[in-house]
Structure 1
């Protein structure tokens, strides 16, 4: 006899308590294997796929795409066990029956339970191919709990695309940005015909649909006696667009607000001549082997500076009224992504070479662009390196990444007039800034740290004294 089991949104770890449904990977009636990903969700940390610990037939889904669910809320129900006979599947999932030509043995489902519900770290086994269970013509009425049914809601008409015949289940969209664009502009993706491979819906397809909706409709010319147009009321005109603060953007807002509220921060800065550092990097890369990034060299400088000024690699426990100096440097770096600002963390940066740091920065940056960072990649930082020079700006007073105690900012490196060896010359100049928690140290320590960093930038040979 088949048994219907409810799978709830699991504990996502890292203190996360909710997640937004981005994309369903299965539909009602699909046969799923144990540990098969069934839904893609966005948390405040990352975009992850949630594997289901049951194998069986999906009988209901809870929550539309874009819905935010708390941990412990029902995600879907699965009919497991039994022989897979048609009458058992029909009893477990009303209206469901095996596909024509499919034997009872082929449609049987496993009653095992894997227990693998850890999100963002992969699953143990291969994912089985999904089989579609065809629905009978007559369907039982939906239960009062109103889970998401197989039928799609009434779509918004999109003249440019027209209906896509027979489209069921997950919409062929990979990019969460495309899905968000459609949701924000009121476009039903089930009505958009994709121009990508195998019908994949691209951003251009959604923009074309938006343009069709916004295209003005020709109206007859008004008669002289027609009343003048009524201007919108001030209340409507001043309402403005409201953008929900959730997901990554909501997490950033919460963290920055907490940082500003709790940390008495101060900022100091200095201009430095980076000509010698740029020459040293060029010499390293000319010698062969993997290329060394400028960010990796700055990271090495930070690590050595923190060894000399450990006060800045710490956090504050106000409940115990203690400063906790941390034994290892886990270096975060600010990365701008389509989903917002994230801070991936290079673990044990103090033990890595310039080559290792370059490779890890590249890996984490690519994962950030692909929205593939795991919660573990985004937590545990002790100090942040913020290279805002990539945006073409010289300086900034960044907000500390709570609960860290400091952040080093690096502006753009550009040719400027500079007094070098007593003469005016054109040199590669960069502005460095340090924002620090004034509870962990005073200005003398912060100034000493920043001056040491600037000395290493100006004279990379200074690092040889501490290697």
Structure 2
């Protein structure tokens, strides 16, 4: 007798709480093997294929392509041939035996099987004065966008209707955290919205309908004294035009850059440098045979040498502890533009790599960025960023620091320009270098010293021989 197991969107790690379904890899009725990829999802970090820890026949899928699901929501159900004794039909246990909560161990690329789900709690709602005790209510998981009886209600102890279509004080029951966030982004008070779901549950469709109707935002109350409060009301204004959701990679970039602007007091300095000798050195390196050396790799090697001289710039700021944390290793991020937006892959241990190793790793990560196969590990852990915006044909920029890092080096295009070389006017290959730094970790003298050393290495690559 077959047993139906439910596979839920696993914990994605790195603080990720949701993912968007990009493409289903199986249909209802398909036979899947253990650890076979069943769906491709996009998180705020990367696009990944999710393998199913069960083998059997797919009996249901939850969510269309383009649907955003929170972690823990059902993805699909699988009918397996051998039932597991003592295992609930909510997805705990691997087919063919084993302990409760045991899976194949490969729920998501880069992450292990999540811990067994907590057993369902039974919550007894408070009885009205004088009323007889009511039946015990069982909380069940509810998938985003699912109907009655299919998932978890976010918000236990939801507010009670006051008789005028509004909820009294207390958390409001919504179908998923996504609904709560959507309401917050549009300035809507969930207490003012009627829910179309069971027991007044507010669904995403309810919020979207209120947004289209231009529903007024909640009246927000601000305490002015210990006994006096003043309420103000905001009304959402909806400008006409095409609306593009800030989600996935684009949404993650928006959140990170906004946080950087809020928290980091940055400053920028820049200098023009004669890159002619660096270009000649690269040509001679590649003529000598062996793997080709990229210009980006040479600039990265210069960066790591500069950070060895100015280690305070390879750091992060812990404001809670009011400490500057100087980091022992250099994990070098570099900005890469893709069809899905800007991503910053990270070369781990860049300070230990030579030019050949750096070239190979840059090539691998760039190709993975273009094909959308970067893993979360490829996109996290950076300590310093190299931004080569010259590929866009521009000379200079004042970039935003990649939070929580402390600095970023920008490199413009290298173009022929008039330049005084050895007392004579000549046409040289000139590049503009810009350096943006967190003014909390250092002053202008340190930042200027770093940038001047980088420029000296660009103009006279032999300077690097001191640190080779």
Shared fold (TM-score greater than 0.5)? yes
Structure 1 residues 270-285: aligned runs within 5 Å: 270-285=271-286
Are the equivalent residues in 2 in contact too, given 1:12–1:118 (CA < 8 A)?
no
Aligned residue in 1 for 2:45: 45
Structure 1 residues 312-331: aligned runs within 5 Å: 312-331=313-332
Q: CA deviation at 1:15?
A: 1.4
Aligned residue in 1 for 2:378: 377
Q: CA deviation at 1:32?
A: 1.0
Aligned residue in 1 for 2:404: 403
CA distance in 2, matches of 1:63, 1:111: 28
Q: CA deviation at 1:26?
A: 1.0
Structure 1 residues 26-75: Cα deviation after superposition (integer angstroms, max 9, x where no partner): 11111111111111000001000111111111111111110000111111
Gaps of 5+ in 1: 84-91, 93-108, 125-141, 148-235
| Structure 1 position 13 matched with structure 2 position 2 | no
CA distance in 1, matches of 2:462, 2:392: 29
CA distance in 1, matches of 2:269, 2:47: 36
SS at match of 1:65: coil
- CA, structure 1 residues 237+38, in 2 after alignment: closer, same or farther (shift >3 Å)? closer
CA distance in 2, matches of 1:341, 1:23: 21
Are the equivalent residues in 2 in contact too, given 1:333–1:345 (CA < 8 A)?
yes
Q: CA deviation at 1:119?
A: 2.0
Are the equivalent residues in 1 in contact too, given 2:110–2:377 (CA < 8 A)?
no
CA distance in 1, matches of 2:378, 2:107: 15
Q: 1:111 aligns with which of 96, 99, 108?
A: 96
Structure 1 residues 399-443: Cα deviation after superposition (integer angstroms, max 9, x where no partner): 000000000000000000000111111000000000000000000
- CA, structure 1 residues 35+250, in 2 after alignment: closer, same or farther (shift >3 Å)? same
Aligned residue in 1 for 2:24: 24
CA distance in 2, matches of 1:452, 1:61: 57
Aligned residue in 1 for 2:457: 456
CA distance in 2, matches of 1:238, 1:345: 38
- CA, structure 1 residues 351+114, in 2 after alignment: closer, same or farther (shift >3 Å)? same
Structure 1 residue runs of 4+, over 6 Å off?
none
Are the equivalent residues in 2 in contact too, given 1:6–1:76 (CA < 8 A)?
yes
SS at match of 1:433: strand
Structure 1 residues 61-460: aligned runs within 5 Å: 61-82=61-82, 111=96, 114-121=103-110, 144-145=148-149, 239-460=240-461
RMSD between superposed Cα atoms in Å: 2.3
Structure 1 residues 309-364: Cα deviation after superposition (integer angstroms, max 9, x where no partner): 00100000000000000000000000000000000000000111100000000000
Gaps of 5+ in 2: 84-88, 114-145, 152-236
SS at match of 1:49: strand
Structure 1 residues 344-389: Cα deviation after superposition (integer angstroms, max 9, x where no partner): 0000001111000000000000000000000000000000000000
Are the equivalent residues in 2 in contact too, given 1:255–1:402 (CA < 8 A)?
yes
Q: CA deviation at 1:117?
A: 3.9
- CA, structure 1 residues 143+326, in 2 after alignment: closer, same or farther (shift >3 Å)? closer
CA distance in 1, matches of 2:275, 2:65: 49
CA distance in 2, matches of 1:368, 1:324: 30
CA distance in 1, matches of 2:238, 2:49: 41
Aligned residue in 1 for 2:212: none
User: Normalized against structure 2, the TM-score is what?
Assistant: 0.70
Aligned residue in 1 for 2:117: none
Q: CA deviation at 1:143?
A: 8.2
CA distance in 2, matches of 1:313, 1:143: 50
